[in-house]
Amino acid sequence: MTTAVAITGLGAVSGLGLGVDALWQGLVSGQSALRSRVEGDALGIGALPLSLVPLPTEAGELTEDVSAQVLCSPTPRATRMSVLAASEAWRDAGLGSFGAHGVPRANRRIGVCLGTTHGEKAPWLAALRRGSNAPPTDAHGPAIPAQVLAAAVGAGRVLVPVAACASGNVALAAALDWIRSGRCDVVLCGGCDALSDFVLRGFQSLRALSPSACKPFDVTRSGLSLGEGAAFLVLESPQHAQARGARVQAVLSGAGQSCDANHMTGPDREGRGAARAMGAALLDAGVTPAEIDFVSAHGTATLFNDQMEGRAIVSVFADRATSVPVHSVKGALGHSMGAASALEAVVCIRALQEHRVPATIGLQDPDPAIPLRLVQGSALSLPLHHILSTASGFGGLNAAVVFSSLPRVPANAAPGVAQKVQ
Amino acid sequence: MSPATLPTLAAAIALFPSSDTPLAALLPTGAKTATEQLARLDRLCGLAVVGSESCLARLEPTWRDQAAQTAVFCGSREGCLATDTAFFRGVQNGEASPRLFAYTLHSAPVGAVSIQHGLLGPGATVIGSQVAGLQALEEATLLLSSGRARACVVLSCDLAWSPGVDVVAALYLTSQPASRIGYFAWKILDVHSFFVAEQPDIALSRALAALHQRVPQSAAALAVSASGPPLATLAALLDEPSTVHPQLNDPSQSCVVITSQDAQGYAAAAVIRRDRGVS
């Protein structure tokens, strides 16, 4: 079995608010961030339900150890969301100041790995609106949020992987490899994406948007709702976390990826690619399907995604598919693209800590063709030890990860990571 | 990484077509890809498909035995920005194209290549810097050593912004012995990338220091600095080593270090070694 890595910090901004607590409390209390927004009207596509992050506009509203200069306008939206979520994760991990003076520069043992579909697109779109035909410059780069985070935490290793809407999980998988291979001790990893008319118009052109708040796995589902957000985890090698006495919240046990090699925008209808990613993640984690207590599904509420995901879960879990709890957060948060699986990772870890699974908002009448135990109505309380989280995206890209609670430590064991959890 | 687990670089190719060259003209003889298929893709994805097909055509057909566990990693500085621009111009004109939107993801070339060749392994595009191709190579080596894939097609694709030269490089890495898969072979000994905001020289010195620490013989290797996409420079060198660098005719000169950096502060260095025992 390969090494699990410690998770010592969490941070998130979502349509449910700023911070992990706002996200978690909103989800377990059954709130949805999807609201009909005038943004859709302005684009002439109707008052679509969207989940937008309530970003602060004044420096005074911001956390004190984050550079106000970075967070306030005109810093573009994806970067602001990333800084807010990442700074929360960094503080949560007890790793010291974020974005303040005195941060050591470019430590090669610290990494930033940010999954996204578009990164920071706002400056580029603004230039296009001005009619610019100038060649792109670094200031228009999709990697801007990652570079800002690297400067804030003194990271010397920076990667921006794009794997469509599975980007968040792919970033976690890359960070897992960095730590397992000994290249990094600490990695700030996650995902971000901001909504824009570019994205709205694109999904509208594909006729993928639901006119009402999306209904994952529901028999009447009619497409996805869009959202935005950012979420980050601090991953650490167990040795590093132990040496500094860090509070280990859970572990990332394994990751698996696959490609459908089937279609540029549609999934393999049988879910074979998603099933391979799930199976690979379980194998990497050394966890059997029988040991998984809960599945955090991609659950976009499109006809084909939910159907294929149901088939994939049945394929992996066999008889257990009808008993292992499954949910989707898309009915509450919308589909936040590259941020989606990073936000779901944060939710999974809180679920492990609280032993609760939030309900699938919007699900009222489960599709009988998807024979899963879908969590609906209200949050479910149950003992949780291992969680599988899965994501899929355009190009047939799939990525799954396994999160685990800390192993029980024998009474006579030497002091170690697991004992820091209390 | 022990020598036995070092990934084998079994084939490499770099193409530098002018931006008005029809992609079909670049396909190798007997290509599986049809002209009509290329016409459905945007140019970046088409370039990736042509590059990958040219690279895979150089392997023994047995490479297909591990297609189910073959990954695709791509590195690109600007990715699909040209398609993004075309799509957004359409939005501004009230004609958002669903066909174009499918290609407004930087990972679209990964999907297109996987579909074309039936590759079912992991995939992602690394974006945002001149050294993205070497970063993709670094991630591919980590992936192979983790056992989560057995082979990887590593791509570097970038389009000329205005009429000029497009670039695509494609490399095939495998954890199998080279003798079973290719016509030439090198070993990827190590790859390191670093970022120091706006100080690429410092980033490069750190990348080289890490390389020298882990692979001592890299200090005496032939050093090649790439002014363009480094993976394309590397692939061109491997394709015609004795022409590009006659020093490589010397059997004692078996190691090459390739470096690259950009103004943002990214730098990367890779060291490769001729695989002994393979002609």
The position carrying tokens 């799939």 is A398
Give buried/exposed letters for A292-305 (b at 16+ CB in 10 A, else e).
bbbbbbbbbbbebb
CB atoms within 10 A of CB A410: 8
B9-66: pLDDT as tens digits = 999 999 999 999 999 999 998 888 888 889 999 999 999 999 999 999 999 888 999 9
A28 CA: distance to closest CA in chain B (Å): 33
pLDDT of residue A71: 57
pTM: 0.94
Asked if residue B266 lies in contact with residue B130, where contact means CB atoms within 8 angstroms, the answer is yes
Cα-based distances in Å from B94 to A201, A204, B88: 10, 12, 10
Chosen from B41, B49, B88, B119 to mutate, greatest number of chain A CBs within 10 A: B88
Structure tokens at A28: 């377990």
Does B4 score more than 60 pLDDT?
no
Decide if A150 and B202 are in contact by the 8 Å CB cutoff.
no
> Is residue B248 very low, low, confident or very high in pLDDT (cuts 50, 70, 90)?
low
> Is residue A219 very low, low, confident or very high in pLDDT (cuts 50, 70, 90)?
very high
ipTM of the complex: 0.95
Q: Is the backbone of residue B52 left (phi > 0), alpha (psi -120 to 50) or beta?
A: alpha
pLDDT of residue B6: 85
> Is residue B255 very low, low, confident or very high in pLDDT (cuts 50, 70, 90)?
confident
Strand B266-274 to B255-261 pairing: antiparallel
**CA distance linking residue A15 with residue A348, whole number of Å:** 17
Does A395 score more than 80 pLDDT?
yes
pLDDT of residue B237: 84
Any chain A CB within 8 A of the CB of B60? no
Closest to A216 (Cα-Cα) out of A300, A293, A155: A300
A184 CA: distance to closest CA in chain B (Å): 12
**CA distance linking residue B133 with residue B235, whole number of Å:** 11
pLDDT of residue A3: 86
**What letter represents residue A202's amino acid?**
G
DSSP A392: E
Any chain A CB within 8 A of the CB of B142? yes
Structure tokens at B29: 């003889």
Any chain B CB within 8 A of the CB of A259? yes
The position carrying tokens 């993928």 is A208
pLDDT of residue A38: 60
> Is residue A20 very low, low, confident or very high in pLDDT (cuts 50, 70, 90)?
very high
Least-confidence region, from A104-113, A156-165, A182-191, A384-393: A104-113
Give buried/exposed letters for A193-222 (b at 16+ CB in 10 A, else e).
bbbbbbbbbbbbbbebbbeebbbbbbeebe
Decide if A155 and B125 are in contact by the 8 Å CB cutoff.
no
B251 CA: distance to closest CA in chain A (Å): 32
A401: three-class secondary structure by DSSP: strand
* Helix extents (H) in A206-319: 238-243, 272-285, 303-317
Does A315 score more than 90 pLDDT?
yes
**CA distance linking residue B136 with residue B143, whole number of Å:** 10
Residues within 8 A of B (CB atoms), A 133-162 only: 135-136, 138, 140-143, 146-147, 150-151, 155-162
**CA distance linking residue B193 with residue B209, whole number of Å:** 11
**CA distance linking residue B112 with residue B109, whole number of Å:** 5
Residues within 8 A of A (CB atoms), B 30-59 only: none
CB atoms within 10 A of CB A266: 16
**Mean pLDDT of the region A367-393:** 97
Any chain B CB within 8 A of the CB of A42? no
Q: Which has more pLDDT, B149 or B242?
A: B149
Q: What are the chain B neighbours of A193 within 8 Å (beta carbons)?
A: none
Please tell me the total number of residues recorded for chain B in this structure. 279
**Mean pLDDT of the region A43-69:** 67
Strand A5-14 to A229-236 pairing: antiparallel
DSSP A268: -
The position carrying tokens 């999974």 is A348
Residues within 8 A of B (CB atoms), A 204-243 only: 204-207
Chosen from A130, A203, A253, A397 to mutate, greatest number of chain B CBs within 10 A: A397
Least-confidence region, from A3-17, A124-138, A259-273, A378-392: A124-138
